[in-house]
Amino acid sequence: MSSENVIEIGGLGKCYQVYDKPRDRLLQMLFGRNGKSYYKEFWALRDISFAIPKGKVYGILGKNGAGKSTLLQVICGTLAPTTGTVAVKGKVAALLELGSGFNPEFTGIENIYMNAQLLGLRREQVDAKLEQIIAFADIGDYVHQPVKTYSSGMFARLAFSVTIHVEPDILIVDEALSVGDAWFQHKSMARMRKLMESGCTVLFVSHSIDAVRALCDHAIWIESGKVKMQGGVTEVTNAYMNDVFIEHNRIVLESMASDVLTLPEVGDKSAESGPMPGGEVCEAVESEAPAPAPNDGSVLQIESLQILDAQGKPTSKVEQGENFSLALDVMFHKSLRNVSAGFLIKDQFGQELTGESIFNTYRRSMDVRAGQRVRIRFSSSMLLRGGQSYSVAIRINQVSKWDRSDNMVIYADELALVFDVLADSNDPMWFKFRMPFQVTYQ
């Protein structure tokens, strides 16, 4: 094992025996040694390999059932691998399931002692940290009650508080923080950042892309028990989001029993009488053509995407407070109904800060013809903090319902453009963006 790595996994596989009937399990016990199998193999993980250096924060992405939780349990040692090797160096603290390791009949205090000692602390060490653990959990007098009386949020508070006060070398968190209330989530995230700054290695599983981008340096995308992609968090999350868009489109199409909403081709009599872009939103019509995946180029092409300064000139640097425009020119290869274009501005961690779209602004979309170019301008003044770079994500979709239930993404680029905001030394900012406030005092 490399001295720089705290986790090394090579060729990891985890196979389960799945029995169709209860009697098959008995038959396997009795006659399995004769070479006959009464079960089917299900590989939850197959040929997983990666290494995690000390002090890094890795996000684990994947759909439900992809194998994320199984992978973490193997790393923690609660599951044995079927094939491959797992090497872990240092004290591991895991928050995999709420209340795992807790005895429901014990009080919160008793479970603190039991769980902390299971995680490697001696009793005198727990004595020294007890008040800190209780204060962070902040569940009041319930800490003296049996944990079977706790809500899921109280479980989360107490379990997380014990885990972080163990001061582990490796912290593993699997969706547990999504259960607590908003105040607890903010408090937990702040404490996790403090652990990271101290050099703790973190494996973080979450379905929140914003949380992964905010906390993690790198990401690993697991699909069907295999590593589909690993690398920088922005690169991996962008690819994962593109895959999510495709799956979302499929679900929308199934629910609507229709396909990409198209207009008749130009030259058709019905097309000539149809509304042009800027008219009222039209009712959806069906098409036999398959729905395109985002970015496949069959529906549209981005001809130009630029930041324009106050004079309308292309730039990659915008001053604080300066008027600017995001200029987008799109050529459509197909006639489509209910088209909207929008953007998101993200910070260097991929967190979404602000954005806008045609549909949000006008509460309706536009109709476009094949061969038609659409010029779109989003104009504002720069309220983001200077001295930093930002990225722009572009999404073009079809949507007509305000609840977005029929939303379909037909183009997405999560890293379409990068620009800098220049700091104003006379008007410094210490926060992400500026909102206009009226300030009074007496």
- One DSSP character per residue, 398-412 reads E--STT-TT-EEEEE
Cβ contact 386:429 at 8 Å: yes
Q: Is residue 154 part of a domain?
A: yes
Per residue in 235-283, pLDDT (tens digit) is: 899 899 888 888 888 887 777 655 455 554 444 433 333 333 443 333 3
Q: Is residue 53 part of a domain?
A: yes
The position carrying tokens 């429901």 is 104
- What is the structure's pLDDT at 179? 58
For 411, the domain range is 274-422
Is there a single domain that holds both residue 220 and residue 296?
no
Q: Is residue 442 part of a domain?
A: no
Q: How many C-beta atoms lie closer than 10 Å to residue 10's C-beta?
A: 14
Q: How many C-beta atoms lie closer than 10 Å to residue 109's C-beta?
A: 15
Q: Is residue 288 part of a domain?
A: yes
Radius of gyration of the chain (CA): 27
The position carrying tokens 């209340």 is 99
Tell the burial category of 88 from Cβ atoms under 10 Å away from its Cβ (0-12, 13-18, 19+).
Answer: buried
Is there a single domain that holds both residue 278 and residue 232?
no
Q: Is residue 65 part of a domain?
A: yes
Last residue of a domain, one of 192, 208, 237: 237
Per residue in 326-349, pLDDT (tens digit) is: 999 999 999 999 999 999 999 877
The pair of structure tokens assigned to 303 is 């001809």
Strand-pair category, 170-174 with 92-95 = parallel
Residue 101 CA to residue 116 CA, distance in Å, equals 10
Domain count, the chain: 2
The pair of structure tokens assigned to 419 is 């620009």
- What is the structure's pLDDT at 1? 64
Is there a single domain that holds both residue 332 and residue 409?
yes
- What is the structure's pLDDT at 274? 39
Is there a single domain that holds both residue 222 and residue 334?
no
Is there a single domain that holds both residue 101 and residue 180?
yes
Q: Is residue 435 part of a domain?
A: no
Q: In what helix (H) or strand (E) does residue 436 lie, and over which residues does it extend? A: none
Is there a single domain that holds both residue 148 and residue 31?
yes
What are the residues whose beta carbons fall under 8 Å from the beta carbon of 137, sequence distance 6 or more?
A: 108, 143, 154, 157, 158, 160, 161
Greatest CA separation for the chain: 90
- What is the structure's pLDDT at 214? 82
- What is the structure's pLDDT at 249? 84
Q: Is residue 428 part of a domain?
A: no
Residue 308 CA to residue 316 CA, distance in Å, equals 8
Last residue of a domain, one of 182, 214, 237: 237
Q: How many C-beta atoms lie closer than 10 Å to residue 276's C-beta?
A: 11
Q: How many C-beta atoms lie closer than 10 Å to residue 65's C-beta?
A: 12
Q: Is residue 389 part of a domain?
A: yes
Strand-pair category, 408-422 with 317-319 = parallel
Is there a single domain that holds both residue 209 and residue 82?
yes
- What is the structure's pLDDT at 278? 42
Last residue of a domain, one of 216, 237, 258: 237
Is there a single domain that holds both residue 45 and residue 91?
yes
Is there a single domain that holds both residue 47 and residue 175?
yes
Q: Which residues pair with 381 in a beta bridge?
A: 323
Is there a single domain that holds both residue 331 and residue 401?
yes
Among the listed residues 362, 390, 387, the one whose alpha carbon sits nearest the alpha carbon of residue 376: 362
Is there a single domain that holds both residue 286 and residue 363?
yes
Which stretches in the chain have pLDDT values below 70? Answer: 1-2, 97-100, 176-181, 256-292
Is there a single domain that holds both residue 225 and residue 284?
no
Residue 218, helix vs strand vs coil: strand
The position carrying tokens 């020119």 is 329
Question: Which domain CATH number covers 379?
Answer: 2.70.50.60
The pair of structure tokens assigned to 178 is 């999504």
Long-range pairs, 227-231, Cβ under 8 A, ≥24: 227/48, 227/49, 227/50, 230/50
Question: Which domain CATH number covers 19?
Answer: 3.40.50.300
Residue 293 CA to residue 56 CA, distance in Å, equals 34
- What is the structure's pLDDT at 284? 39
